[in-house]
Amino acid sequence: MRGATQFMLFMLLAAAVLITHAPSPTNAYSGQAQLKLNEAERALVTGSRNAIVRTGMSEAYFDRRFSLVKVVNQSADRRVIWKFSLNEYSTIVTDVIGYYTADGKRVDVHGAATSLRVTSDINKTISRKKADQIMQKCIGRFTNAGVEYRASPNGPARLVLAAEAVPRPEPEQQPTPVNPSKTQPPTDMDLIKPKGKRRPPIIVGAVDLQSGKCTKGELLAGPSVPMSH
Is the separation of the CB atoms in 202 and 218 below 8 Å?
Answer: yes
Three-state DSSP state, 60: helix
Instruction: List, for residues 44-93, the tens digit of each pLDDT value.
Output: 999 999 999 999 999 999 999 999 999 999 999 999 999 999 999 999 99
**124-168+199-221 topology per CATH:** Nuclear Transport Factor 2; Chain: A, (3.10.450)
Instruction: List, for residues 172-197, the tens digit of each pLDDT value.
Output: 666 666 665 555 666 655 555 555 56
Alpha carbons 115 and 51: distance in angstroms, whole number: 12
Rounded to two decimals, the pTM is 0.72
Q: Are strands 142-150 and 105-110 parallel, antiparallel or unpaired?
A: unpaired
Alpha carbons 100 and 224: distance in angstroms, whole number: 42
Instruction: List, for residues 84-131, the tens digit of each pLDDT value.
Output: 999 999 999 999 999 999 999 999 999 999 999 999 999 999 999 999
Is the separation of the CB atoms in 110 and 52 below 8 Å?
Answer: yes
Residue 208: closest CA among 134, 145, 143: 134
Alpha carbons 172 and 130: distance in angstroms, whole number: 37
pLDDT of 22 above 70? no
Q: Is the dihedral of CA 133, 137, 138, 143 positive or negative?
A: positive
Alpha carbons 205 and 80: distance in angstroms, whole number: 28
Alpha carbons 160 and 204: distance in angstroms, whole number: 12
Beta bridge partners of 164: 143, 204
Domain ranges for the chain: 26-116, 124-168+199-221
Residue 147: closest CA among 219, 215, 212, 206: 206
